Structure 1
Amino acid sequence: MFFNSLDFAIFLPIVFTLYWLINSKSIKLQNFLIVAASYFFYGCWDYRFLSLILFSTIVDYTVGRLLAQTNDSKKRNLLLWISILVNLGFLGFFKYYNFFIDNFVGAFSFFGKEMSINSLNIVLPVGISFYTFQTLSYTIDVYKKKLEPTKDFIAFTAFVSFFPQLVAGPIERATHLLPQFYKKRKFDYANAINGMRQILWGLFKKVVIADNCAEFANVIFNSYEDQSGSTLVLGALFFTFQIYGDFSGYSDIAIGTARLFGFDLMKNFAFPYFSRDIAEFWRRWHISLSTWFRDYLYIPLGGSRGTLKFKIRNVFIIFLVSGFWHGANWTFIVWGGLNALYFLPIMLTNKNRSNLDIVAKGKWFPKLKDLLSILITFTLTVFAWIFFRSNSVTDALGYISNIFDTTLFSIPTLSQGAHHTLILIVIFTAIEWIGREGEFAISKIYKLPVYLRWSFYFAILLLMFVFTGKEQAFIYFQF
């Protein structure tokens, strides 16, 4: 079930109404409704994989209970590894089995030895990378004694399967989200209205920006051999806004929907395209994943402590693993490695925490230095997205090679619709810039006079109606 579908438009009001009608009954009943709604939500895609979520839930709940019963380090280590191997085992099989088989066979073929190992026709369960990491955070935090293991199986099941963020995040920590299922929720009108605003803005990002950009990005990337250099630059630009509008739009809808039910989800995007260096970009892009890798991989490896050799190793590990998390393709690994190369000079000169504040805070325009830094960082990001979007490393290199051609300075070949989409990108960027100090771009719009506020809402709805692109699945469903 997609957020931008008629099914969800019917599903959400029904669940919302039932949820608050039983508010006076019991927290457990509310949590049970969330579990039922979440399993129905996921089952609309493929009910067969509900057993996978349930099995993962049972394993980690049981491991958590057993960890509470022993202080023996060997038993605790064994329990932790059971959770890690079960969760990453499922993830590895469904997501990476064919990748490893194909590369294993290819390696032997390279040395002149033919091997016959058939790949399998495996369906990748939607959201497996997200809920796997979410439930793993619980086990690891219980193991480290940062969190008391829960005795409430229904609350834990609701935490693992919470439908707003089940299939594409944010990847919540058990320390943040799980305790919210223990507390009685009270309907907060102001919070619900703010949630509706965030849902509206998320839908605008997805339907108007991402889906329209996707239409032109797909055409250009799929026929890059026949495009001029200038058109290829615009193709990369279209994808840059497609992936941001698509993924941050999903996060906005998820966070806004959770607010309707009285839950607080972590912020997942903080206007990343206004970053002044790559380190700042990764503090603002897919925050829930970046911080997950930081806390559960980078810091345990030693982080930025130790010798220069270990610092460089840790940076490459974190970015390469992050790339591989996105998919079983060398393009993602190269994308991760490229970002590691971007990050290294900043880290080695101890400038990776230079830009912690909001750019041009309290001002309309940035300083020239900040503007140049934003443009350079944005350009590096757009370049890296070419590898992320391409079907293969060969295609990515071919795409880049064709950019740096004599046609780079020619007039791009674009349809009328593409020109309209470029105008929408400019308007969208301006709104994001104006609202960059808020929780999301239009979070402070309530401060405007009523007639201006509602005019803006109607303008967004009108744009969604007029510029509705061809419906595209959310990009991160494939991860």
Structure 2
Amino acid sequence: MLFSSNIFIFVFLPIVILLYYTIFRFKFKNLFLLVSSLIFYGWGEPKFIIIMIMSIFMNYIFGLLVDKFREDKSKAKSILIFSMTLNIVVLFIFKYLSFTIYNINMYGGYNLNVPSITLPIGISFFTFQAISYVVDVYRNDGKVQKNLFNVALYIAFFPQLVAGPIVKYSTVDYEINNRKETFKDFSNGVWRFIIGLSKKVLISNTMAVIADAAFSNIYSGISVSFAWLGAIAYTLQIFYDFSGYSDMAIGLGLMFGFHFEENFNYPYISQNVSEFWRRWHISLGKWFKEYVYFPLGGSRVKSNDRKIINLFVVWILTGIWHGASWTFVLWGLMYFLLITVEKFSGFDKRPCKKIWINHLYTLLAVIIGWVIFRSNTISEAGMYLKSMIGIGANGLVDNVTIMYIKENIIFFITGILFSMPVIDYITKKIKRKKIYAILEFSSSIIVFILFIICITYLVKNTYNPFIYFNF
């Protein structure tokens, strides 16, 4: 079930909110949200609920065992390592086994049977949250949950279940049993949900049409201008797709009293690649930093070689996390190289004094990265990048590029403009209370109008699945 679907907006969500705030407000509210989340997850593929329930029960037991043997550090650590290994094995089987066997056959000369395994939606997200639960209990960053249903709610809560943000257990540990729903949080949640819906339906989906047209025609040949237009369109598409989903998830969490951390902070204004990754998919970056990078020693290790190895491990895992494809591996390696150079040269802390050069370098690196990320194969990515510099391209400018620009110029301008903190800047500049009140009232009207426009798009069925559902 998609957040940007009629069944979710007009049926599922209203029913859940109504029942939550009437029948289940003061009793069994966690159980009700859990049941609602299982219905949400199982709407399209009910069989995958079994996988998630197994993950929940398995990690619930591990959490109890880690807490029970807390005083015996060696035994508790062994349980932790075993739990993480088992979680990763399950993730590997569903997400990477077919890819691994295929490559063994391809490069090893074997003829092993390649199993056809359907990827459960959101398995990377809920597996990482399950690992977070056991690790945080082990570290005493969160209290162990004796109630199985509370662990299940943390892992399966529908707002962040299938595409994040990845919620660390320690951030919602207290709110699982002690949250306070308020009208202010609920109204802010509705506002945030509509903003996210608008990002997805109005901008991301429009950009998707252009990006798909460019990338799908790479073998037949495209012009230099259309190659760049498609790459820029995808750069906007993936940002508004994923940040839009995160906005909706955070908004839904607020409606039920949960406060999730932000997942994006205007990444396209970054002055270097290191800064970009502090602003993009923040929850994933923090997860790898706290559960992989720091345990390896982080940047505090004495040897530079060890620092490089630590960065390599994090970024190769970041690439692989996104999918079983060599393009994701290459994408991760690209960022490993760029960030390693930035850190050892000091560029991440002392960028060029000419800010526009920093922005240009960062955006160019990010766009190239998204071309690799979007492509089906490395050779396809190579062909696309060649087209961007004129090698094998069908001319410099063509009518297709002009047509797409004319038809979508407003969406491009809007997408570029609001990828920067324009609203934040205006709000900070307005200090007079009366003007601020007018702005606040006007924004409410604008958000309502955006919601109506989004509904008209949804009625016409002009929406796409979220990109990060695949991960």
- In 2, distance between residues paired with 1:461 and 1:184? 28
Residue ranges of structure 2 left out of the alignment (5+ in a row): 428-432
Q: Is the 8 A contact 2:229 2:401 kept in 1?
A: no
- In 2, distance between residues paired with 1:66 and 1:99? 34
- Counterpart among 322, 328, 334 of residue 332 in structure 1: 328
- In 2, distance between residues paired with 1:56 and 1:398? 41
3-state DSSP of counterpart to 1:238: helix
* Structure 1 residues 395-433: Cα deviation after superposition (integer angstroms, max 9, x where no partner): 001111122217674356237455333421212332343
- In 2, distance between residues paired with 1:455 and 1:416? 33
- How many residues are matched? 456
Q: State the shift of 1:91 in Å.
A: 0.5
Q: Does 1:397 pair with 2:382?
A: yes
Deviates more, 1:136-145 or 1:388-397: 136-145
Kindly tell me: are residues 383 and 103 of structure 1, through their superposed partners in 2, closer, same or farther at Cα, counting changes over 3 Å? same
- In 2, distance between residues paired with 1:447 and 1:327? 46
Q: State the shift of 1:353 in Å.
A: 4.7
3-state DSSP of counterpart to 1:45: coil
- In 2, distance between residues paired with 1:451 and 1:198? 15
- Counterpart among 196, 201, 204 of residue 207 in structure 1: 201
Q: State the shift of 1:352 in Å.
A: 3.0
Kindly tell me: are residues 139 and 354 of structure 1, through their superposed partners in 2, closer, same or farther at Cα, counting changes over 3 Å? farther
Instruction: Show the 5 A alignment for 1:379-394.
Output: 379-394=364-379
Q: Is the 8 A contact 1:19 1:33 kept in 2?
A: yes
Q: Does 1:369 pair with 2:354?
A: yes
Q: State the shift of 1:372 in Å.
A: 3.1
- In 2, distance between residues paired with 1:57 and 1:466? 39
* Structure 1 residues 87-111: Cα deviation after superposition (integer angstroms, max 9, x where no partner): 11110000000111011111123xx
Kindly tell me: are residues 58 and 403 of structure 1, through their superposed partners in 2, closer, same or farther at Cα, counting changes over 3 Å? same
- In 1, distance between residues paired with 2:152 and 2:252? 19
Q: State the shift of 1:79 in Å.
A: 1.3
TM-score (norm 1): 0.89
Q: Is the 8 A contact 1:217 1:236 kept in 2?
A: yes
Q: Does 1:452 pair with 2:442?
A: yes
Kindly tell me: are residues 446 and 213 of structure 1, through their superposed partners in 2, closer, same or farther at Cα, counting changes over 3 Å? farther
- In 1, distance between residues paired with 2:322 and 2:437? 39
- In 1, distance between residues paired with 2:444 and 2:153? 35
Counterpart of 2:469 in structure 1 is: 477
- In 2, distance between residues paired with 1:466 and 1:185? 35
Q: State the shift of 1:23 in Å.
A: 5.4
- In 2, distance between residues paired with 1:36 and 1:23? 12
Instruction: Show the 5 A alignment for 1:119-198.
Output: 119-186=114-181, 188-198=182-192
Q: State the shift of 1:198 in Å.
A: 1.1
- In 1, distance between residues paired with 2:148 and 2:372? 42
3-state DSSP of counterpart to 1:435: helix
3-state DSSP of counterpart to 1:8: helix
Counterpart of 2:75 in structure 1 is: 75
Identity %: 34
Kindly tell me: are residues 430 and 402 of structure 1, through their superposed partners in 2, closer, same or farther at Cα, counting changes over 3 Å? closer
Instruction: Show the 5 A alignment for 1:418-433.
Output: 418-433=405-420
Q: Is the 8 A contact 2:227 2:388 kept in 1?
A: yes
Q: Is the 8 A contact 2:142 2:173 kept in 1?
A: no
Q: Does 1:219 pair with 2:208?
A: no
Kindly tell me: are residues 350 and 303 of structure 1, through their superposed partners in 2, closer, same or farther at Cα, counting changes over 3 Å? farther
- In 2, distance between residues paired with 1:446 and 1:458? 18
Pairwise CA RMSD: 2.4
Kindly tell me: are residues 454 and 176 of structure 1, through their superposed partners in 2, closer, same or farther at Cα, counting changes over 3 Å? closer
Q: State the shift of 1:328 in Å.
A: 0.1
TM-score (norm 2): 0.91
- In 1, distance between residues paired with 2:204 and 2:436? 25
- In 2, distance between residues paired with 1:32 and 1:338? 44
Q: Is the 8 A contact 1:204 1:249 kept in 2?
A: yes
Deviates more, 1:89-98 or 1:428-437: 428-437
3-state DSSP of counterpart to 2:100: helix
Q: State the shift of 1:78 in Å.
A: 2.7
Counterpart of 1:348 in structure 2 is: 344
- In 1, distance between residues paired with 2:56 and 2:348? 37
Structure 2 counterpart of 1:476, one-letter code: Y
Counterpart of 1:361 in structure 2 is: none
- In 2, distance between residues paired with 1:271 and 1:105? 43
Q: State the shift of 1:184 in Å.
A: 4.4
- In 2, distance between residues paired with 1:380 and 1:450? 37
Kindly tell me: are residues 308 and 476 of structure 1, through their superposed partners in 2, closer, same or farther at Cα, counting changes over 3 Å? same
Q: Is the 8 A contact 1:280 1:353 kept in 2?
A: no
Structure 2 counterpart of 1:385, one-letter code: W
Instruction: Show the 5 A alignment for 1:304-323.
Output: 304-305=299-300, 306-323=302-319
Residue ranges of structure 1 left out of the alignment (5+ in a row): 110-114, 356-366
Structure 2 counterpart of 1:137, one-letter code: S
Kindly tell me: are residues 37 and 354 of structure 1, through their superposed partners in 2, closer, same or farther at Cα, counting changes over 3 Å? farther
Q: State the shift of 1:370 in Å.
A: 2.6
3-state DSSP of counterpart to 1:208: helix
Q: State the shift of 1:455 in Å.
A: 4.5
Q: State the shift of 1:371 in Å.
A: 3.3
Structure 2 counterpart of 1:301, one-letter code: L
Counterpart of 1:464 in structure 2 is: 454
